[in-house]
């Protein structure tokens, strides 16, 4: 796991697995943990890293309800859990699914955890809307399409966008169950204006991007999704993301779009 400071009030840790990102953001004496690293030793280290950096975590926030973004309470067990109402509704409609998917991952990769994943009742955040943190407010933007749920967080005083599983330099657009190409494209359109104002963009997987690189990824993703609808399996993948893992995701996308 590596940690990178983006601003005195923002730093990002990146998991060794899937390059999954976790963002810590503070205002005054309060901090949020947004999403989570994946591996137990990373989660165990996170409170010490936060404390040493002066981040007093008072809440965990998730961009969407995929299991690999829901692990923050392993690190901050007493912190309340905040998410978009769409994510809360997804968890209610899929009781126990995240815990089962985590267990399957752990069994496949021989990972041992201190306890099963248990999620408390979540606090639904207003999306679109704002969420108070210390003396400041985060902007919350709808971000569905990858899944049926989701939100992106704009940190205006730091000019940082945390966008969940969008704008990844290592992963092509992934239309998971409940997601759709039309909703994904609508999310890209909404985020484009925010990206143009950003100094840093934090995708759910992969390195932190500057605005120029994030806009390039956005254009590549938009072109890929348009080609996916028009040409199906013949759609070209973005040049820097043409590997076996991404071709597998592409086949899943084709099946979902054509099925």
- pTM for this model (two decimals): 0.95
Q: Is the pLDDT of residue 5 over 90?
A: yes
In the chain, pLDDT over 90 holds for what percent of residues? 97
| Domain CATH number, residue 63 | 3.60.15.10
Model confidence band, residue 185 (pLDDT cutoffs 50, 70, 90): very high
Task: Please tell me the total count of domains within the chain.
Answer: 1
Region of residue 159 (left: phi > 0; alpha: psi -120 to 50; beta: else)? left
Could you tell me which residues come within 8 angstroms of residue 1 by beta carbon, excluding any fewer than 6 positions away?
A: 13, 14, 15, 16, 37, 39, 41, 42, 45
Q: What is the mean pLDDT of residues 16-45?
A: 98
Percentage of residues of the chain with pLDDT beyond 70: 100
The confidence band for 80, taking pLDDT boundaries of 50, 70 and 90, is very high
Decide: 234 and 254 in contact? Cβ < 8 Å: no
Q: Which domain, by its residues, includes 134?
A: 2-258
Among 66, 29, 58, 21, which Cα is nearest to 202's? 21
> What residues contact 155, with CB distance under 8 A and at least 6 apart?
7, 9, 10, 25, 138, 161, 162
* Residue pLDDT, tens place only, 161-174: 999 999 999 999 99
Give the model's pLDDT for residue 120.
85
- Long-range (24+ apart) CB contacts under 8 A made by 88-96 are 88/122, 88/124, 89/149, 90/65, 90/147, 90/148, 90/149, 90/178, 91/65, 91/119, 91/122, 94/65
pLDDT score for 209: 98
């Amino acid at each position: 796991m590596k940690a990178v400071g983006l601003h005195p009030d923002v730093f990002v840790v990146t998991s060794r697995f899937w390059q999954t990102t976790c963002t810590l953001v503070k205002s005054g004496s309060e901090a949020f943990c947004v999403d989570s690293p994946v591996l137990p030793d990373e989660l165990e280290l996170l409170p010490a890293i936060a404390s040493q950096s002066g981040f007093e975590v008072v809440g965990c926030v998730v961009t969407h309800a995929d299991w690999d973004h829901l692990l923050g309470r392993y690190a901050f067990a007493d912190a309340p859990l905040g998410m978009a109402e769409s994510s809360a509704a997804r968890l209610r409609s899929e009781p126990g699914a995240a815990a089962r998917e985590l267990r399957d991952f752990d069994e496949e990769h021989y990972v041992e955890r201190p306890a099963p994943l248990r999620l408390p009742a979540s606090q639904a955040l207003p999306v679109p809307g704002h969420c108070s943190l210390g003396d400041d407010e985060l902007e919350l933007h709808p971000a569905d399409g990858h899944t049926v749920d989701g939100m992106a967080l704009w940190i205006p005083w730091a000019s940082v966008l945390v966008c969940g599983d969008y704008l990844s330099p290592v992963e092509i657009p992934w239309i998971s169950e409940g997601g759709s190409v039309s909703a994904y494209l609508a999310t890209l359109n909404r985020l484009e204006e925010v990206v143009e104002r950003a100094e840093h963009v934090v995708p759910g997987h992969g390195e932190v991007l500057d605005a120029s690189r994030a806009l390039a990824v956005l254009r590549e993703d938009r072109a890929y999704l348009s080609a996916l609808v028009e040409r199906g399996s013949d759609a070209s993948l973005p040049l820097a993301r043409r590997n076996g893992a991404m071709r597998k995701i592409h086949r899943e996308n084709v099946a979902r779009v054509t099925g």
